[in-house]
């Protein structure tokens, strides 16, 4: 082996960092859910603000919409807890088995879909009530 070759081998770091692809994918997926959660929270907040600012909260249909938004907010609180758990930031340790992680993502999808439906329904109701 030439002297140059030996010198270049000595210059290489002795420790190489190993990346766990499963953890990296999980981390990326959790960040995507955090972004989705942020968008849904903002939509929910806008709907509640509109209910109050227009005074529709004090009508029969507005009260129903407010209850729907409250239910959506409860779902979002559960989503926050699940995302924190997946990120190992919650009170309960992060699940280790793939089946447990998949079950949490299924629950997250269901909660976010239901929240989106409630917020969308409320937005349509607000549009209809605003036309009157």
129 within 8 A of 59, measured Cβ to Cβ? yes
Tokens coding 61: 């249909």
Q: Give the separation between CA 13 and CA 95, rounded to whole angstroms.
A: 34
79 within 8 A of 37, measured Cβ to Cβ? yes
Model confidence over 3-16: pLDDT tens digits?
A: 555 555 555 566 76
Confidence at residue 2, expressed as pLDDT on a 0 to 100 scale? 57
44 within 8 A of 75, measured Cβ to Cβ? no
Instruction: Tell me what the pLDDT averaged over the chain comes to.
Output: 82
Model confidence over 32-42: pLDDT tens digits?
A: 989 988 988 89
The pLDDT-based confidence of 106 (bands split at 50, 70, 90) is very high
Q: Give the separation between CA 121 and CA 32, rounded to whole angstroms.
A: 24
Q: What is the percent of the chain where pLDDT is above 70?
A: 84
Model confidence over 78-101: pLDDT tens digits?
A: 999 888 888 777 667 777 788 888
């Amino acid at each position: 082996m030439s002297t140059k070759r030996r010198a270049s081998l000595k210059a290489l770091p002795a420790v190489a960092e190993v990346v766990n692809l499963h953890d990296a994918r999980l981390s990326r997926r959790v960040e995507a859910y955090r972004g989705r959660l942020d968008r849904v929270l903002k939509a929910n907040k806008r709907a509640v603000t509109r209910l109050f600012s227009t005074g529709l909260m004090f009508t029969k249909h507005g009260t129903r919409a407010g209850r729907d938004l409250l239910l959506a907010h409860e779902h979002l609180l559960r989503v926050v807890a699940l995302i924190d758990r997946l990120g190992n930031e919650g009170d309960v340790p992060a699940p280790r088995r793939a089946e447990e992680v998949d079950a949490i993502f299924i629950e997250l999808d269901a909660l976010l879909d239901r929240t989106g439906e409630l917020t969308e329904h409320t937005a349509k109701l607000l549009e209809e009530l605003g036309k009157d």
